[in-house]
Amino acid sequence: MSRFPTAQHLAAWAGLAPANAGPAGKHRRAGSCKGANWLRRAFIEAAKPASRSRGTYLFAECRNVAAWRGPNKATVAVARSIVVAAWHLLSTGEPYHDPGADWPSRRRDPEREARRLVARLEALGHRASIAPAA
């Protein structure tokens, strides 16, 4: 894996990195980069069953992306996650540990989320205060 300095380089070579079509300073979605089509197809085929395995991080990522981008783009996003994980596995030699389907919710700071929700209520014209549960 010394050929690719970062996981993003490998994803770009595999054709799974986001492309950029931004003439004149405009940023537009352009699908994904051109790359090794055979490798791209292989990782997309691997992503389809991986995104159906319930209780995993890849399942949660697929559901999240599919909700706002569609199922095909979600499959490509899962394929990119597999490529990034493969790069880390091969470059460090450590085994894969799935963060789990609840990883995004565990990553959030509960106090920050509470402050955000109180501010949102106050912006809607309500008075709110928080007391910790016993």
pLDDT, tens only, 35-62: 778 888 999 999 999 999 999 999 999 9
% pLDDT > 90, the chain: 47
Assess whether pLDDT exceeds 80 at residue 81: yes
Per-position b or e across 12-30, b if 16+ CB within 10 A of its CB:
bbbbbbeeeeeeeeeeeee
Here the tokens at position 84 are: 């990034």
Backbone angles phi, psi at 45, to 5 degrees: -65, -35
The whole-model pTM stands at 0.75
Contact yes or no for 77/50 (Cβ under 8 A): no
Per-domain residue ranges of the chain:
7-102
